[in-house]
Amino acid sequence: MAEKIQGVLTPTLVPLDARGEINEAEMRRFYGWLIDKGVHGLYPNGSTGEFTRFTVEERKRIVKISCEVANGRVPVLAGAAEANVKETLAACEAYHSYGARAVAIVSPFYFRLSQESVYAYFAEIAKNSPIDVTLYNIPMFATPLEVNTIRRLAEFPRVVGIKDSTGDLSFMMRMISAVKPDRPDFCFLTGWEAVLAPMMLIGCDGGTHATSNVIPEVTKQLYEMCKAGQYADAMKIQYRVLELFDVMLLNFEFPDGFRAAADLRGFNLGRGRQPMSSTQQVDRTALQKVLQCILADFGFVGSPDSGCPTRTGNAPNDKLAQIVFEVLHELERRGVV
Amino acid sequence: MAEKIQGVLTPTLVPLDARGEINEAEMRRFYGWLIDKGVHGLYPNGSTGEFTRFTVEERKRIVKISCEVANGRVPVLAGAAEANVKETLAACEAYHSYGARAVAIVSPFYFRLSQESVYAYFAEIAKNSPIDVTLYNIPMFATPLEVNTIRRLAEFPRVVGIKDSTGDLSFMMRMISAVKPDRPDFCFLTGWEAVLAPMMLIGCDGGTHATSNVIPEVTKQLYEMCKAGQYADAMKIQYRVLELFDVMLLNFEFPDGFRAAADLRGFNLGRGRQPMSSTQQVDRTALQKVLQCILADFGFVGSPDSGCPTRTGNAPNDKLAQIVFEVLHELERRGVV
Amino acid sequence: MAEKIQGVLTPTLVPLDARGEINEAEMRRFYGWLIDKGVHGLYPNGSTGEFTRFTVEERKRIVKISCEVANGRVPVLAGAAEANVKETLAACEAYHSYGARAVAIVSPFYFRLSQESVYAYFAEIAKNSPIDVTLYNIPMFATPLEVNTIRRLAEFPRVVGIKDSTGDLSFMMRMISAVKPDRPDFCFLTGWEAVLAPMMLIGCDGGTHATSNVIPEVTKQLYEMCKAGQYADAMKIQYRVLELFDVMLLNFEFPDGFRAAADLRGFNLGRGRQPMSSTQQVDRTALQKVLQCILADFGFVGSPDSGCPTRTGNAPNDKLAQIVFEVLHELERRGVV
Amino acid sequence: MAEKIQGVLTPTLVPLDARGEINEAEMRRFYGWLIDKGVHGLYPNGSTGEFTRFTVEERKRIVKISCEVANGRVPVLAGAAEANVKETLAACEAYHSYGARAVAIVSPFYFRLSQESVYAYFAEIAKNSPIDVTLYNIPMFATPLEVNTIRRLAEFPRVVGIKDSTGDLSFMMRMISAVKPDRPDFCFLTGWEAVLAPMMLIGCDGGTHATSNVIPEVTKQLYEMCKAGQYADAMKIQYRVLELFDVMLLNFEFPDGFRAAADLRGFNLGRGRQPMSSTQQVDRTALQKVLQCILADFGFVGSPDSGCPTRTGNAPNDKLAQIVFEVLHELERRGVV
């Protein structure tokens, strides 16, 4: 039996070039760095990887490159949801041939289905997939998976785990209670990184965390502290991760905040494929400075030249304070003040 | 200037063969019949057409066939949303070359975007599309379009209308108030056919109605009565349409109820691409008999051999009553009662 | 059998004095004026009447005064929801003795109950009330009433109608389809005045409209046009009512916008009981000027001295434009410009 | 400065007699037992105490009795929300005079207010209350309190804490991040007992837990383990508490499941004030047997005579299994099987 998927997997961002095409060289450099920094796996074609904004061929290419970079050092969990069961199974075949450890399949989206239909959909996949399947529950974007449906799907040996992005601890506990007695090998991953430590406490095996694109060293450390039972120390880190996470999540259009922060670590992610208005572009510049200040606290980058105002934890305020700092700095530079 | 889009357009169902592939011959026969029965346009690749369950190539083929069948007799409004702006514009080009009158582009889905991002998305398309664009607002499935965003987008000449599936009359009135003064040519279509008559009363130009796949004669009549100001009579028909609509919508996984009903009109739509559990298949058979009873009232088909119990308007009850009738009929047939 | 409740009933605002106590003299003057202007009934203790912000004794006093002012000229529909069934029945007794035509009882709120519990609650009231009962469905504030529950409750002769504040036309049509065949006398009132005309078209008997506190002449005219089948003309008025309604509803804390507008008709409603922050008080002044401009268009009041900028239908913008006008006017007055 | 509120406070159920009146003798016996079993405080007039279903006078009486029973042994946190600010302040005065430690005031309900209005409401109370105030956030029933509003309200010294019933850990962490730096004395209580242990881990001071009406010994133990940093052991108990909690919460109308379970501990809570349909009464009997089986596992009561089937964690299934056991037992008793 294959090893259980666990630890912090990175739902990888996709570097793009100036024309919006996949920047393969930067992608290889970036994913290699993530593995070097200690992430426990790569998770291409997740929400953070904006899978819906790529073509079928691009999604395949992304997984192929990921598997090549991983090269057996860490497992690859490949997002494989396509237009329908037949296309999804074709992706499963392909990813299996590339050497992925398992696929992750998001619950049907656009249409919101009944639980019976969600069951029928995954059952059809589970019966025919040549590769292990993890369910992906993200009710804010796709049809919710209820506990009883997950329990029924866990009867298929091919279904080896779930990635749940609700961040709802009681829901996760209900899921674990319902599934674990009959499937002790089942893997529970949280996609809501703001609460990794508490999720580990209640029995999760890890998570797929967008923030690990930016601070892989910290998310790895957080995970290891939890594994060692050092929850009090882990929570100190968790609070700092939350601050970074919130600025990236709540003030940019997802996942552009994560792209902006990864750039600060020395990569060139490029602009995402969702167009930005001019207002949004101005905002982005100010917010990236706030991100730089947070990353400077972690010790990963230097502070902006213009300096860092005291942060309040209220990002819109922090953005304004940063803009004031920028203006003052510029005036100083010009000898005005 | 091109003619305003108006009337009842059919968001066409897609006939599939036993292997789940597009049944082109049946598609041509079915779409031709719709036009013969008087629908004012074809709307391929809508939600009813399950556009998300087809591949890029299939979506193109569907529009191409639709344009060929329409052959200038009625306009084709082609759903053109693809993975990103670039792919969407490619679809616009293709559909323009096939002779479509306009494209309909659903608001970004899966991710829920801010209004600013929705604006940026459609603005980019509006600036570059070679074909007229109608916005498609369906908040239950995709990012909502707010009135102010619609008003801003209506500043682009390429944006010629909106299809709104909320069924919310005050929202539609707010939209009309905000847009019509500056764009008297703007086209307002409702996608919520349960209230076509009231929507016409408040100023809509028509709608894209799934029910017109099943009873095109009736939806056309309903529209014409409204155009003639005969609202009291129109409402009598509207209530009958609602009964049919509710059985198809609320008791099957969308749009399978519409597929089941279109079959009763003499077509072979085949099973949709979303798998069904065995429970769902049993349900479908009983519900299709209920649909037959409703269509028999309209005079379009005969009653089931087993007869039609009195309908209560409560579909689960009606389904049970129908099952009892079926069993009794079978027992009679066997000489038991 | 008592006459069916129909027409436009006013969910009456409650005038308060400077200490926040009921201003009885103003209340009598205001309610008398409403009846003189032609409203078809008074509806004290509705949401517009902020029933939850008064004590049990105050609610009784409000109904008593309403019945005295009405004095048989128009029916009084009295909001009678209290802490529990026993207290609610006590209110029913009292309101019956004051001469109310019927009571309106909102679905249980705070707790969100199952439909079975909602049924049990109203059934207990229906069995014991000495006065006719109308159900009150307002899902944004209280437990929703589903069609089947309404149908079951319509089996009690004491339950004579429903006031529905969803503004959802297909829901209202489903309700009418389910209830009317067995209860042709059942009264359907809409509480969503933005769509009174379409609601009349589909078969409603009228509505309880907060706006009739401000422009009773117009809401009465709108109703009468609908009764006469003059829907096209009615819609012209309906659009103007919507503009007023939206400014009052969307830009003030409910129902303070209605209070501010009623003041402009020559009454002294006073501040509501919900405290206002200083920001909100500044806003209120600017918005009341926008209201004055709209009411001036109706011909009910003069324009503000500072004049009325062109309205855009976008209230925040209109508020800003008005503030600019105010400032300019003040500068002119001081001879600055 | 008064001592910080911490630990597990019981949101006390209210024993009623056969006529639905407060059963004072049983109330005194029950609350005394809770204190004897170690709960850290009493919290009358919470949601579990069904405060909305009692009259103003009854709510006062409930707090008075609670203070008398507590008699200084444990603090009393008294729910004091009334119809408006003036009435609420009157309750604050009364509860202060009875010796309550603080009041808990739920965010305004029925109407859903803007954050600015929620702020104005609590600010008015905070400025005038003679007794410490804890905010009560329960978005499923009342206007939500956002982090920034809580931060602003924490500037009032009278506001000493918050009880949050969302069960959302990232929200609680954001709240703690925003408030604690300036108010290290501020008290954070969770009302979502399914996750007490993780909430303690992230820095909560305890909770107000309905389940402590039923198993005060266990909730106390759970709290103490968390205080001692024994999280792994605490989680084992937390999972067992969750099973009990879910049966009580998800299968009865709240809080009747808690009433049914407290009865099993030897009290006579009586029926709640919300009427039950006959179907609900039958259900209640079967479910109470399931509760008895769970409490028997804890060792607090004996098993039902009819025995306990294996539980699946799926309450509807467990209820059916229990009914089968009951029927078999009855047949055995009659010598049929």
Q: Residue B117 carries which DSSP code? A: H
In tens, the pLDDT along B68-112 reads 999 999 999 999 999 999 999 999 999 999 999 999 999 999 999
Give the integer Cα–Cα distance in Å for B193 and D224: 59
CA angle at A186 for the pair A183 and A192, rounded to the nearest 5°? 140
- Tell me the backbone φ, ψ of residue A163, rounded to 5 degrees: -110, 120
* Number of other residues whose CB lies within 10 A of the CB of residue B140: 12
Pairing status of strand B206-208 against strand C77-79: unpaired
Q: What is the dihedral of CA D156, D162, D168, D169, to 10 degrees?
A: 80
Pairing status of strand C159-164 against strand D133-137: unpaired
- Cβ–Cβ below 8 Å for D194 and A238: no
In tens, the pLDDT along B5-45 reads 999 999 999 999 999 999 999 999 999 999 999 999 999 99
pLDDT band for C5, please (50, 70, 90 cuts): very high
Give the integer Cα–Cα distance in Å for B201 and C199: 11
Of C87, C120, C253, the CB nearest to D114: C253
Give the integer Cα–Cα distance in Å for D234 and A231: 13
Nearest residue on chain A to B272, alpha-carbon basis: A84
Is the pLDDT reported for residue A122 higher than 80?
A: yes
Determine the length of chain C.
Answer: 337
Q: Looking at per-residue confidence, does A138 or A321 come out higher?
A: A138
Of A195, A313, A314, the CB nearest to D169: A195
- Cβ–Cβ below 8 Å for A195 and D243: no
The distance of C98 to chain B (nearest Cα, Å) reads 37
Q: Whose structure tokens read 């008997």?
A: C205
Segment A55-62 shows an average pLDDT of 98
First to last CA, chain C: 69
This prediction's pTM: 0.95
Please list every residue in chain A whose beta carbon sits closer than 8 Å to the beta carbon of residue B116.
277, 279-280
Segment C308-314 shows an average pLDDT of 78
- Whether the CB-CB separation of A204 and A226 falls below 8 Å is answered with no
**How many Cα atoms are found within 13 Å in the side-chain-facing hemisphere of B103?**
31
Q: Looking at per-residue confidence, does C334 or A125 come out higher?
A: A125
The distance of C125 to chain B (nearest Cα, Å) reads 26
Q: Which two tokens stand for residue A215?
A: 């601070």
Burial state string for D319-329 with b = 16 or more CB within 10 A and e = fewer than 16: bebbbebbeee
In tens, the pLDDT along C185-239 reads 999 999 999 999 999 999 999 999 999 999 999 999 999 999 999 999 999 999 9
Segment D37-53 shows an average pLDDT of 98
Give the integer Cα–Cα distance in Å for B262 and B214: 5
Q: Which two tokens stand for residue C270?
A: 């006073």
- Whether the CB-CB separation of C41 and C76 falls below 8 Å is answered with yes
Q: Residue B142 carries which DSSP code? A: B
- Cβ–Cβ below 8 Å for B177 and C235: no
Nearest residue on chain D to A147, alpha-carbon basis: D314
Share of residues in chain B with pLDDT > 90 (%): 85
Determine the angle formed by the axes of helices A115-128 and B278-298, rounding to 10 degrees. Answer: 130
pLDDT band for D148, please (50, 70, 90 cuts): very high
Give the type of residue at D25: A
Res C180: pLDDT? 96
Burial class (CB in 10 A: 0-12, 13-18, 19+), C112: middle
Give the integer Cα–Cα distance in Å for A231 and B233: 70
Sheet with D159-164: list strands edge to edge: D41-42, D7-10, D206-208, D187-190, D159-164, D133-137, D102-106, D77-79
Region of A13 on the Ramachandran plot (φ > 0 left; ψ -120 to 50 alpha; else beta): beta
Candidates B172, B201, B204, B314: best to mutate against C (most CBs of C within 10 A) is B201
Please list every residue in chain B whose beta carbon sits closer than 8 Å to the beta carbon of residue A112.
140-141
Is the pLDDT reported for residue D1 higher than 70?
A: no
Contacts of B92 (CB under 8 A, 6+ apart): B80, B103, B125, B129, B130, B131, B133
Is the pLDDT reported for residue C87 higher than 70?
A: yes
Is the pLDDT reported for residue B331 higher than 90?
A: no
Peptide bond into B255 cis (omega under 30): yes
Q: Write down the ipTM of this complex.
A: 0.94
Segment C312-326 shows an average pLDDT of 72
Is the pLDDT reported for residue A6 higher than 90?
A: yes
Subunit partners of chain A (3 or more CB pairs within 8 A) = B, D
Mean pLDDT of chain D: 95
DSSP, collapsed to helix, strand or coil, labels residue D296 as helix
Res A333: pLDDT? 79
Determine the angle formed by the axes of helices D231-250 and D256-264, rounding to 10 degrees. Answer: 110
Of A234, A147, A142, nearest in space to A193 by CA = A234
User: In DSSP terms, which residues pair with C6 in a beta bridge?
Assistant: none
- Longest distance between any two alpha carbons in chain C, whole Å: 71
- Whether the CB-CB separation of D134 and D104 falls below 8 Å is answered with yes
Contacts of A141 (CB under 8 A, 6+ apart): A47, A106, A109, B110, B111, B112
Give the integer Cα–Cα distance in Å for D303 and D80: 40
Is the pLDDT reported for residue D260 higher than 70?
A: yes
Peptide bond into A255 cis (omega under 30): yes
Q: Provide residues of D within 8 Å CB-CB of chain A.
A: 148, 151, 167-170, 173-174, 177-178, 192, 194-195, 197-198, 201-203, 229, 231-232, 235, 238-239, 242-243, 246, 313-314
Of B127, B119, B125, nearest in space to B147 by CA = B119
Give the integer Cα–Cα distance in Å for A47 and A167: 15
Burial class (CB in 10 A: 0-12, 13-18, 19+), C25: exposed
Contacts of C261 (CB under 8 A, 6+ apart): C213, C214, C244, C248, C288, C291, C295
Chain A and chain B touch, per 3+ beta carbon pairs within 8 A: yes
Sign of CA dihedral B208, B209, B213, B218: negative
Give the integer Cα–Cα distance in Å for B46 and B255: 11
Give the type of residue at A193: E
First to last CA, chain A: 69
- Cβ–Cβ below 8 Å for B170 and C313: no
Of C104, C173, D312, B212, nearest in space to A177 by CA = D312
Segment B220-249 shows an average pLDDT of 97
DSSP, collapsed to helix, strand or coil, labels residue B232 as helix
* Number of other residues whose CB lies within 10 A of the CB of residue C198: 29
- Cβ–Cβ below 8 Å for D238 and A178: no
- Cβ–Cβ below 8 Å for D83 and C53: yes
pLDDT band for C25, please (50, 70, 90 cuts): very high
Is the pLDDT reported for residue D117 higher than 80?
A: yes
User: In DSSP terms, which residues pair with A4 in a beta bridge?
Assistant: none
Determine the length of chain B.
Answer: 337
Give the integer Cα–Cα distance in Å for B265 and B10: 15
DSSP, collapsed to helix, strand or coil, labels residue A217 as helix
Q: Whose structure tokens read 């847009």?
A: B179
Subunit partners of chain B (3 or more CB pairs within 8 A) = A, C
Is the pLDDT reported for residue C74 higher than 70?
A: yes
Res A313: pLDDT? 67
SS (H, E, C) A53-121: HCCHHHHHHHHHHHHHHHCCCCCEEEECCCCCHHHHHHHHHHHHHHCCCEEEEECCECCCCCHHHHHHH
Q: Which two tokens stand for residue A2?
A: 């294959």
In tens, the pLDDT along C266-305 reads 999 999 999 999 889 888 988 899 999 999 999 999 999 8
Give the integer Cα–Cα distance in Å for A99 and A128: 18
Is the pLDDT reported for residue B325 higher than 80?
A: no
DSSP, collapsed to helix, strand or coil, labels residue D317 as helix
Of C250, C199, C266, C190, nearest in space to C226 by CA = C199
Is the pLDDT reported for residue A247 higher than 70?
A: yes
First to last CA, chain B: 69
Burial class (CB in 10 A: 0-12, 13-18, 19+), C61: middle
Is the pLDDT reported for residue B63 higher than 90?
A: yes
- Whether the CB-CB separation of A122 and A105 falls below 8 Å is answered with yes
Q: Whose structure tokens read 């709540």?
A: A250
In tens, the pLDDT along C238-250 reads 999 999 999 999 9
Share of residues in chain D with pLDDT > 90 (%): 85
Please list every residue in chain D whose beta carbon sits closer than 8 Å to the beta carbon of residue A231.
201, 229, 231
